[in-house]
Structure 1
């Protein structure tokens, strides 16, 4: 190679491999669906995410199918083969088949006559390339038959191998069909992209950003949560911010440095990411932020509780082991770990800091004990009113906590007797 030559991108020349050895393709329930839909007429192929993930060596969860068979005939063939068939979206050609307790979506090939968000007027077809052309990204327009032969009408395989997330056809048209594709573009880059984002796709997303306001809170929240836990989440979030979309999505200015630090800490601890915790690191600074985001994304009560931890200071300084145990006992393992991770990310201690690591992993090394006294234990010591019983239990528990949780049940009973004897002081 000459001194100033640059390596050529040869990914466009890659020949699609066979998936005949893919484990998901050999599963009995998958084969039952293929067998039920086989016959003298019609063709059926697996499509989309299962193929994409299998080609990348990732675990395959759901398997979807595309078929030239009309939806009513899909139902008839499936039921004849003993499969449960549910007409979940007949207007769009989609039937859900259940084989051995596993659900599969089967959609008849189609092209979209008219689109408006999640809804479209469709026309069924037997043309695989026409069906592929109505999908969003080339890496999602991959098909495979029961023998594992890959059908790639739009060059999705080389794009997938190169980490290129590329819209099918005109990006602006694809986005106008459904503005959620703006967020999907960033989410798919966060999961599968490598290198710079596709320039045409990025430009189209930025120009169409106002369309995000037409989307439901639930759809936006779903995409955001899936993006935040992706391997390249920090890159995608940074690009969203640089091009002005992130503030539109969150409704406020984020803190990218805390978000990036949390990701680094999670990686150092080999901890599975949690979308809401990352959202808290990114966008929650005071309790009002959590309330606003909870309303904006219509989060569950459990998600709201976790998100709110981002706006609550943990401690002024890292607690020692005894103080950390008291915090863990009071908060519970989930909230405790979240508070420590957010506090760590909010500071400047390195991700290798041993004291912070010890605090963050305390719940994995120490099971908080259970306070074993009950109201009946107090009433056995004398005649006390309801409020007096509750007050006595709180006093005993507080002494027990301050003593490092040392007393067993007998020790707690002795402590209760002593407090009773001296009037509870």
Structure 2
């Protein structure tokens, strides 16, 4: 019996347990799509990442269905059931089926006719094994039917058990079909903590130059996903050792101290973790030169929003922290205006960057935890109230008083309008520095 025959498995035991894990509504819709196709005389199964995630006990983000039906047949079958279909990728055999307001990709079985290192010209296939042969990693080349049976042609289940990353078939060939698969390997390593086998890692090293034909946007997306993983240290170190990191980021090596820092930076929001780690790597190479950092981020095709988050997180006036936490509230406002969270993202980053500032960071965390919501609510005093009830005249002094009251409101020093007026009268009675003339 050859290796392929040995690897070909159709185990019912693990499939049944996987089926029990799919309790969300999208899984039910996927089963309904499979049933509709089967009733029309076609074979259909869940395919790829959703099968992998279910076997790992992870709820999939999406459910993809593979079928022996070709695109026009897929459209006909679902239209007959008055179900909306959208030909999103019809040239590559993919139809989006919309049920209960949710889109699901239903794709014809395929085989590659030719590839150019990024895209493939495909023909529709007739067997699931042929479809599996064109997929990237063994654990992404599995299928699951409506009864929970797993169809595993290349040992993906065993690789999941062993925590192993392995290409389907010959690693070099899989990479030459799509060079972005090099970065996908490091992304899965960072996400799951799986180890690539020796052949996989060596193939990434020898074929790395092929990444030069991949668009910068796709490279950056994969890089951010890798940097956002829970196990980022080992894959980043391997990216540096294989020369991949120099190709995609211009960085030859990462000091052990930086790797430890990146590993320690466990920001809860994954989408914020990647940009924060990227900023630290760029700062290691370029220093605290905002212009150089911004130029590097533009070359990486990072969105303006991500660039702002990186710059705001790294360029902080630490010398002002102990003097006036209110100044830091202003800085935090700028950060959260980008849609990010201070407590979940910025504070963990600062704790890693500035361990010697623990006391003041603790102070900021306490203020934010107790009173941070007030930055998003209106201060219950305005200039008119101060004019009528405190006798303040309109002008620069009124502006300074309002600014001071707002800062103290956010720091929790007063809560009600009455407390605010009392504090205002106290501040008015105290000597205040006059505003300088313009």
TM value normalised by structure 2: 0.80
Distance 1:71 1:335, change over 3 A: closer
Q: How does 1:3-402 map to 2 (within 5 A)?
A: 16=11, 17-18=14-15, 19-24=18-23, 27-39=27-39, 41-195=41-195, 197-252=196-251, 257-258=257-258, 260-266=260-266, 271-273=268-270, 274-284=273-283, 285-286=287-288, 287-316=290-319, 319=321, 323-324=324-325, 326-332=327-333, 334=340, 336-337=342-343, 338-348=345-355, 356=361, 359-360=364-365, 362-367=367-372, 369-370=374-375, 371-374=379-382, 376-377=384-385, 384=394, 388=395, 392-398=398-404, 401=407
Q: Deviations over 1:285-306 (max 9, x none)?
A: 4223531343133223321111
C-alpha separation between the residues in 2 aligned to 1:420 and 1:347?
39
Task: Give the CA deviation at 1:374.
Answer: 3.9
Distance 1:132 1:400, change over 3 A: closer
Distance 1:238 1:194, change over 3 A: same
Q: Deviations over 1:152-206 (max 9, x none)?
A: 11111111221111111222221111111110011112223434x2211111111
Unaligned runs of 5+ in 2: 1-5
C-alpha separation between the residues in 1 aligned to 2:265 and 2:314?
19
Task: Give the CA deviation at 1:28.
Answer: 3.2
The secondary structure found in structure 1 opposite 2:136 is: coil
**Greater Cα offset, 408-417 or 81-90:** 408-417
The secondary structure found in structure 1 opposite 2:318 is: coil
Partner of 2:3: none
Distance 1:57 1:400, change over 3 A: closer
- Across the two proteins, how many residue pairs are aligned to each other? 403
C-alpha separation between the residues in 2 aligned to 1:367 and 1:355?
16
C-alpha separation between the residues in 2 aligned to 1:399 and 1:375?
11
The secondary structure found in structure 2 opposite 1:122 is: strand
C-alpha separation between the residues in 2 aligned to 1:311 and 1:59?
34
TM value normalised by structure 1: 0.82
Task: Give the CA deviation at 1:412.
Answer: 4.9
Distance 1:34 1:347, change over 3 A: same
The secondary structure found in structure 1 opposite 2:372 is: coil
The secondary structure found in structure 2 opposite 1:143 is: strand
Asked if the contact 1:259–1:345 (Cα under 8 Å) also holds between the matched residues in 2, the reply is no
Instruction: Give the alignment's Cα RMSD to 1 decimal.
Output: 3.4
C-alpha separation between the residues in 2 aligned to 1:108 and 1:222?
27
